[in-house]
Amino acid sequence: MDVELITLPANGNNGKSISNDRITAENGADVTCEVTERDSLLKTHAAGNQNGDIPVSNSDVEAQRTVENAHSCPESTARRIWEELNDTPFSKVRLWMILIFLLVIIVAIILFSLWICSVIHEDVDEKFDPSLFQVPLHFNGSFQLPNQVFTEELFTLSTNESIVLTTDLEDKLADLYRSSPALGRYFSKAEVYSLRNGSVIADYQLTFLLPEEQQFELQNFTLSREMVYNVLRQSLYDQETDGSAPMYIYPRSLRMF
């Protein structure tokens, strides 16, 4: 069966006219189509021996290679790292073993350094010689115990009731000042020397011992009346004792001179 082809020759009209020349199966093999005005916009790819396969541009090939490299890069990197870690710089000793050993050594050195610093470090302010504190400094005052009922036995400090009450008050004052970071080293004793009527008003005396070389400086600053008074007053405001407890000291009743 013969197949006839109709060609559209180039005529300046972009191939719109039709030629009546007929091409048979015998003569159509050697016919070359003429180039039209639009042929310059098209790119011709050589088919080679690919039996009509669609040609692939260089950009498509590069894109495919980029995708393949992107997928294979993490795997190759992980494989390379694993091979380096399993390298054997010494006999039967792998690299990852050496890294772990070095890490343990570094942590041990840091912990040992911290321990040495804590042992060797000494606070200069905490080192003092109590035998040098010989100059006495006294503060007197009073405070009220609103939950105590005054009795006749409290007039005399030698009675059992007075001894128990005064001892408890002295211990409370002593513990308060000994726990003070600023005044604790200078504190000597607290003494309650009288109990008066009016919800039991206790008269007290505080004794501090100062080193002779620093007595004037301490009296003007660290052991000034304002400092000693404020420490006691703040402690009374912060006291955890219930307001109804027998040993509760009313903070606003505090006096010092």
51 within some domain: no
Q: Are residues 32 and 66 in the same domain?
A: no
54 within some domain: no
Which of 15-19, 57-61, 134-138 shows the lowest mean pLDDT across its residues? 15-19
97-146 tens-digit pLDDT:
788 889 999 999 999 988 888 777 665 566 778 888 999 999 999 999 99
211-251 tens-digit pLDDT:
998 899 999 999 999 999 999 999 999 887 777 888 899 99
Q: Are residues 151 and 201 in the same domain?
A: yes
Which pLDDT value is given to residue 41? 47
Q: Are residues 144 and 115 in the same domain?
A: no
The pTM assigned to this predicted structure is: 0.54
The whole domain housing 243 covers 133-256
34 within some domain: yes
Q: Are residues 154 and 243 in the same domain?
A: yes
Q: How many domains does the chain have?
A: 3
Q: With cut-offs at 50, 70 and 90, classify the pLDDT of residue 45.
A: very low
128 within some domain: no
Which pLDDT value is given to residue 144? 94
Q: Are residues 244 and 189 in the same domain?
A: yes
Q: Are residues 207 and 183 in the same domain?
A: yes
50 within some domain: no
Of 174, 238, 242, nearest to 204 by C-alpha is: 174
Going from the C-alpha of 76 to that of each of 61, 79, 116, the distances in angstroms are: 22, 5, 46
Q: Are residues 157 and 251 in the same domain?
A: yes
